[in-house]
Structure 1
Amino acid sequence: MSSLVFSQSAGALLIGGLFASLLSGFVMAQTYMYYKTYPLDMKYLKALVLVICILDTCHTAFIWTALWSYLIDNYGEPGAIDIIHWCVCLPMFISRLTGHISRNIALTIVVTAIVTFLVQLFFSYRIFMLSKKNYFIAAPIVIMALLRLVSACVSTAEMYVFVQLQTAQRLREINARFHLGTFTQFRALVQWVFTSGLSLSTAADFLITGSLFILLHNSRTGAPNVNALIDGLIMYAFETGLLTSAGTVVSMICWLAMPRNIVFLGLHFVIGKSYAISLLVTSVFQIKRQCQLMEETFRLNMRENFRRGHSSAPKEFGAPVIFDARRRRTADPDQLALSVIETDGKRGSAELNLKHTMLEVNVERTVHYDL
């Protein structure tokens, strides 16, 4: 007889699965927008975004496979809510031998850990570059992220014992020995493993947020408009760090304080989505902020030139222009796509003929931040 409260556990899993599916749709939309808008972005970042999207899709599939088994296949059997689901590989064979249903929940935990590791590794690289390649700042983040991944893998391995599928008697002996087929037994024996993983993930998030705050704050300049943009980056770092760390902390609290249900698992469904969203939004937001910083730099340069009584830009151009190499190029190789800042604050598009046009660009200062 299961010791879990079925109504609380099933309700939390269903709500968590629905909300995770909604966020998964947002991840797909952000991925599509990223590839469509910036097809010439760095290859490693494009590959990372693709991997995150694929893992997120698999994660959603595992969630709904487990929910189908919990709520549909085992309808009317409250005790089934306590069983830890695994992969659908060999489900019929295992179920005939052990009487257990196919197991998918454990895979959602390890996929969430992989997504978390990749995103935290991405932010640690940004911090490494922003700190002028300071290993003492970036290394602790990488170590914590790696330990969190190891902890999740150990948790997944403890939830299921890999066995040689020879006889039903062999499986019964191993199941009786390890007692890790249910959440109740897993919590009683190796609760500290799962708790350590959530704690390490939270610590890494706090360290990432604090490092970004200090590094960006120290990068402030004397220009008010540039400082305003840097303040926006700082605020964004706080928001993304709060989103991921809050979900992990709340899930850990439910895991420790609510042993009679698996509400923590419904929250854990959403954690992986929040990390994927933070990465995708960061990629788009970073490029947008870079353009704004470059625009502000050009404005400051032109203002200084006018103050000196001359303009370094030709009269044919009434506004500064920005070269965005990440956007799609024009069909004509002699035409270069430009982004023009018009006087009313709107951005238009123009094409410059490289064969017949002389262009003079005077850049006194360039501000570039990676986040």
Structure 2
Amino acid sequence: MVSVPATYGAILLGGFLAAALSGIVTVQSFIYIKLYPTDLAWRKAMVAVIWILDGIHTALVCASIWIYLIKNFGDTSKINDIPETVAMTIALTANLDVHRSLHISRSVAVSRGDWRITAPLLVLAFLRLCSACVTTAEMIHLNTFSEFKREFRWVFTLGLALSSLVDILIAIFLCYSLRTTRKASSSMDYVINSVILYTFENNSLTSAATVVSMICWLVMPSNLIFMGLHFVISKLYANSLLATLNARKQLRQERAQRGLSGELPLAFPGLTDRFRSNRRDSSRMEPIGTKLEINVEKTVEYEVDADTLNRHSPALSSPNLSCHPSQAVSQMV
């Protein structure tokens, strides 16, 4: 007996939530373009790729709902079938997760200067992608959930487990590194505490959603609740990365308001990039000189004898000139 709420209802509700979160992804993408027009080129390209992949994922979700609810309307025997659009959403979800993991891992490696710390994260993210690709290929090949669960159930479970593990490791490493930085720079405690809290909330949300989807997949294999949750997980990955990028401006403002000049490590890449560029620009600035112009006015007074004046210029002879006339000459130096 097929449970309509747990199958069709789960797919429909998951599709609604995925579409709403996809709208938020679009809004965050435009916010990023507006706030960071001079950001690094590779970061702009990554945001563009995430936005495109998210749009494709949303289209596949809508197509899956159309197949389940419209094309196969009233035929409950088709609920065991796996449409190709559903299988492809799993690979796209893994791609978005890997983009987020690679971005954070690269930022951590650049900030700490030690790739040995982030190598396990990169390996796990790569295995997660491989697991998702195998899952997608086998779902398309087998075409039914019953066959897939019997032969490749462990592959999908492994992919969800690896995704949760990557989220947990990223959160642990970033929080530990930020706490270490806080000890070394007490003047930035407030901002670093905000970054720690944001990092924990961001990664714990995606990790919790993945764990819940995996539990539903293992405990309730006869319904599609796990798939409805899996539709939403993809959007959480995209929003998580874009929210991290867009939060940099607010943290810069908080740092400036508190008069902090130190760098913010990890978690929010771009904060330290902007700080370093500003510092290099300020070091190349020439001292500004003030040109002072002084005008000196010299007044020279001299006396002219009236007889001499009358002798050279009789027309100027006048009783008024019997006194000693004066003439002022001004000279600008």
> Is TM-score (shorter-chain normalized) higher than 0.5?
yes
- Contact kept, 8 Å, 2:96 with 2:237, in 1: the verdict is yes
Residue of structure 2 equivalent to 1:251: 213
Change (3 A) 1:196 1:222: closer
CA distance in 2, matches of 1:325, 1:139: 26
Correspondences of 1:119-158 after superposition (within 5 Å): 119-130=100-111, 132-158=112-138
- Contact kept, 8 Å, 1:225 with 1:296, in 2: the verdict is no
Correspondences of 1:1-371 after superposition (within 5 Å): 4-86=2-84, 104-130=85-111, 132-161=112-141, 180-221=142-183, 226-297=188-259
Change (3 A) 1:274 1:299: closer
- Contact kept, 8 Å, 1:66 with 1:85, in 2: the verdict is yes
- Contact kept, 8 Å, 1:6 with 1:261, in 2: the verdict is no
- Contact kept, 8 Å, 2:128 with 2:159, in 1: the verdict is yes
Please report the TM-score for the alignment, with normalisation by the length of structure 1.
Answer: 0.69
CA distance in 1, matches of 2:133, 2:4: 27
Instruction: Determine helix, strand or coil for the equivalent of 2:74.
Output: coil
- Can you list the C-alpha shifts for 1:3-53, whole angstroms capped at 9, x where unaligned? 753431111110000001000000000001110121111111111011000
Residue 133 (structure 1) shift: 1.8
- Percent identity, aligned pairs only, is 41
CA distance in 2, matches of 1:4, 1:195: 23
Q: What is the total number of aligned residue pairs between the two structures?
A: 271
- Contact kept, 8 Å, 1:128 with 1:135, in 2: the verdict is yes
2:82 counterpart letter in structure 1: I
1:158 counterpart letter in structure 2: E
- Contact kept, 8 Å, 2:54 with 2:235, in 1: the verdict is yes
CA distance in 1, matches of 2:261, 2:110: 27
Instruction: Determine helix, strand or coil for the equivalent of 1:75.
Output: coil
Instruction: Determine helix, strand or coil for the equivalent of 2:82.
Output: coil
Name whichever structure is richer in helix by fraction: 2
CA distance in 2, matches of 1:358, 1:272: 57
- Contact kept, 8 Å, 1:213 with 1:234, in 2: the verdict is yes
CA distance in 1, matches of 2:116, 2:249: 27
Change (3 A) 1:23 1:6: same
> For the pair shown, which has the larger CA radius of gyration, 1 or 2?
2
- Contact kept, 8 Å, 2:210 with 2:233, in 1: the verdict is yes
2:223 counterpart letter in structure 1: N
Please report the TM-score for the alignment, with normalisation by the length of structure 2.
Answer: 0.76
- Can you list the C-alpha shifts for 1:48-82, whole angstroms capped at 9, x where unaligned? 01100000000000000010010011111011121
1:29 counterpart letter in structure 2: V
- Contact kept, 8 Å, 1:5 with 1:260, in 2: the verdict is no
CA distance in 2, matches of 1:13, 1:280: 26
Change (3 A) 1:140 1:63: same
Change (3 A) 1:181 1:222: closer
- Can you list the C-alpha shifts for 1:184-219, whole angstroms capped at 9, x where unaligned? 111111100000000011111100000000110000
- Can you list the C-alpha shifts for 1:83-131, whole angstroms capped at 9, x where unaligned? 1011xxxxxxxxxxxxxxxxx100110000101111111111122123x
2:124 counterpart letter in structure 1: M
Gaps of 5+ in 2: 263-272, 276-284, 291-333
- Can you list the C-alpha shifts for 1:295-325, whole angstroms capped at 9, x where unaligned? 434589xxxxxxxxxxxxxxxxxxxxxxx97
CA distance in 2, matches of 1:153, 1:222: 43
